[in-house]
Amino acid sequence: MPDGDFKFIRTNSASLMNYTSTSGYQGLANQANALPRSSASTHMKVIRLEKRGSEKRGFVYYLVLGGGIRREVDVENAISSGELVVPAEFKTGNKTATNGSPSPADEIKKYKELLDSGAITQDEYNAKKKQLLGI
């Protein structure tokens, strides 16, 4: 939201603390139910995952979070806006997390940076490069 509050992490719609608009203008209710910016960098426990919607209109997945007042998260929109950060080990297409070890090219690059910074000698770099390449 423009004031820094979260847009896609808000008070659970089933919570007694949820604010509903009596004037019919939903913008005020959305702002009142948003997670405040002071809650940034906090960790919350996931209580359950809910699937809302229909076949015709599509489905949206929500996380229900614990921690005092129950919160709900529109997962896809929260991730795309940066409100929700997915840890690297759970991101799709991450090869280093699946096999647990860096590739030989990554290791050679790391040793080249050490060589350039003067932390290792040329002989140490060449020996490690041969070892990693299996020469």
**What pLDDT, in 10s, does the model give residues 113-134?**
888 888 889 998 898 888 888 7
| Model pLDDT for residues 99-116, shown as the tens digit of each residue | 567 788 888 888 888 888
Range with lowest mean pLDDT among 14-23, 89-98, 99-108: 14-23
Asked if residue 122 and residue 58 are part of one domain, the reply reads no
Task: Name which of 35, 44, 41 is nearest 4 in CA terms.
Answer: 35
For the chain, what is the mean pLDDT?
74
User: Does residue 90 lie in a domain region?
Assistant: no
User: Does residue 59 lie in a domain region?
Assistant: yes
Asked if residue 102 and residue 74 are part of one domain, the reply reads no
Would you state the structure tokens that stand for residue 121, as one six-digit string?
Answer: 């000698």
How far apart (Å, rounded) are the C-alpha atoms in residues 121 and 114? 9
| Domain limits for position 33 | 9-85
Q: How many domains, the chain?
A: 2
Boundary of a domain, candidates 85, 104, 119: 85
User: Does residue 110 lie in a domain region?
Assistant: yes
Boundary of a domain, candidates 67, 85, 103: 85
Asked if residue 22 and residue 49 are part of one domain, the reply reads yes
| Secondary structure (3-state) at 13 | coil
Phi, psi (5° rounding) for residue 86?
-90, 125
Three-point CA angle 63, 86, 10, nearest 5°: 35
| Secondary structure (3-state) at 58 | strand
